[in-house]
Amino acid sequence: MKKIFLYVSMIFLAATGDAMSSDANTLRAGASRINITSEIGGDIIGGFNPFPSKHIHDDLWVRCVLLDNGKTRVAFVVCDLIGLGQNLCDRARRLVCEETGIPEGNVLISATHTHSATSALGDRYSKKPELSDYQKFVALRIRDAVRCAVNNLAPARIGWATGSEPRHVFNRRWFMKPGTIPVNPFGGTNDLVKMNPPRASENLVKPAGPTDPQICLIAIETLDGKPMALLANYSLHYVGGVRGADISADYYGVFNDRIQQLLCADRQDPPFVAIMSNGTSGNINNIDFKNKGEKYAPYARMREVAEDVAKAVHKAYKTIEWHDTVPLGAAFEEVEMGFRHPTPEQLERAREILAKLDPNKKQKSLEEIYAERTMKVNDFPERGKIPLQVFRVGDVGIGTIPTEVFVEIGLEMKERSPLKPAFIISLAHGYFGYLPTVEQHKLGGYETWLGTNRLEIEAAPKILAKLLAMLDGLK
């Protein structure tokens, strides 16, 4: 019934003029944004202990850029959220397909990773979690954003470029002097690195990995040169520095507003839409741990980072070579992967910790939090499927992964991709924890702990090999 329905839907769309352009030599593009700000009081989950929001500092949005070259139609959707449940993304792609005829595999859905938004992740440890009311709302807003982008389709030109902003990316995992790394939540002393160590400490040795200062961007303009939309990608975790329990889109939202100003694209009809997607920032943040740094008022650091990144994008934008049409392609696969499970000793320790847990205690210790996670991941199957996706936009290659991806993986993707420039959009189509490299797994630390990291230790090379093969198929 589903296939028949989709076939009839596509015939109807063709009859009403909403189907893909019949002129294969003409690019059309559309963009939109729709508000997804949650009501005050929902839990913000940026930290270990969630807390209810008390104020809306700036709105959260779902943003969409749609491309149609007459043969293929693709949609890029990014939400101002810390992450998205896989079941939410599945529902949203299905709704988009039913309403527009765009194949589900041609629709990207990802999150920025702002740490100051109500959760749309759902129960991350449940095998078949039910969608919350807010998740259902976000799925419908994603559908509507794509529909509005379809409504805004117009002849366009497209181009791409790369810029660089190295001043705001730092590896947050550090080697430290022997004996100075705290015991981990599992009672172990085998971690060789620490995430977010004390700043300017005499115990710091060196960062445990590289950074990626590159900013990739794809830009669309009207045939008479007016900016329509922009999709950028930068490997920065988030900035933070909000006031109390505020809801905020973080630097992603500030960037989107600032680049619009720099491009003189304010108050257009249809509105100009800018998107900053999250690159491979699993071990990257904006803190220079070698120095004490200065104190910032709420939101000041966020604005500073966004300003510099927007200026770097604006500089790169001026170098773009524009194209009237480009090849477009997409591929989507659910790839089987192993899940990690606790050892018998870890299970026993978790049971002992939870048996002593005070149910009236609001704040939980790391030991208690990870004891709960240990029990939950133990119920996961041995193997499962995770969604991977790739796109071709002209010469540009894009891969997506449903995790917080380490920067080394993004750098290798950029080097080995058959399409260049290339980049990875993290937190797409679900959330499966962090994705360290095999080498970083050996160093331990927060991002490798069971419950933070869920996929098998060999997941990174397997995922990257699959993405590269999928990209190769789009050449």
C-alpha 57, offset from chain centre: 22
Going by C-alpha positions, the residue among 71, 109, 72 that lies closest to residue 90 is 109
Structure confidence by residue, pLDDT tens digits, 380-402: 999 999 999 999 999 999 999 99
The pTM score is 0.94
Structure tokens given for 10: 């596509």
Structure confidence by residue, pLDDT tens digits, 125-160: 766 678 999 999 999 999 999 999 999 999 999 999
- In SS3 terms, 29-53 reads as EEEEEEECCCCCCCEECCCCCCEEC
pLDDT of residue 49: 87
Give yes or no for a contact between 163 and 61, defined as CB atoms under 8 angstroms apart: no
How many CA atoms are closer than 13 Å to the CA of 368, on its beta-carbon side?
13
Enumerate the domain spans of the chain.
23-168+209-335+382-472, 342-378
What single DSSP character describes residue 163? E
Give yes or no for a contact between 407 and 417, defined as CB atoms under 8 angstroms apart: no
pLDDT of residue 19: 46
Going by C-alpha positions, the residue among 35, 29, 102 that lies closest to residue 62 is 35
pLDDT of residue 23: 56
- Token pair 């043969």 in the structure block, residue: 71
pLDDT of residue 24: 58
**Distance between CA 169 and CA 211 in Å, rounded?**
6
pLDDT of residue 45: 86
Going by C-alpha positions, the residue among 262, 296, 327, 306 that lies closest to residue 114 is 306
Between the CA of residue 367 and those of 104, 184, 357, 370, what are the distances in Å? 41, 8, 10, 5
Other C-beta atoms lying within 10 Å of the C-beta of residue 181: 20
pLDDT of residue 14: 35
pLDDT of residue 22: 44
Other C-beta atoms lying within 10 Å of the C-beta of residue 454: 26
Structure tokens given for 325: 């049409």
Cis peptide before 271 (omega within 30 of 0): no
pLDDT of residue 312: 98
pLDDT of residue 361: 80
Give the ranges where 299-392 is alpha helix by DSSP (H). Answer: 300-317, 344-355, 366-378
**Distance between CA 288 and CA 167 in Å, rounded?**
9
Query: Could you give phi then psi for residue 205, rounded to 5 degrees?
Result: -110, -65
Structure confidence by residue, pLDDT tens digits, 23-34: 556 899 999 999
**Distance between CA 248 and CA 219 in Å, rounded?**
25
C-alpha 393, offset from chain centre: 19
pLDDT of residue 354: 94
pLDDT of residue 316: 98
Following DSSP, what letter does each residue of 253-297 receive, concatenated?
A: HHHHHHHHHHTT-TT-SSPPEEEEEE-S-TTEES--TTS------
Determine the residue type at 122. G
3 state SS of 190: coil
**Distance between CA 324 and CA 428 in Å, rounded?**
29
Cis peptide before 381 (omega within 30 of 0): no
Query: Could you give phi then psi for residue 146, rounded to 5 degrees?
Result: -65, -40
> Which portions of the chain are predicted below pLDDT 70?
1-25, 126-128
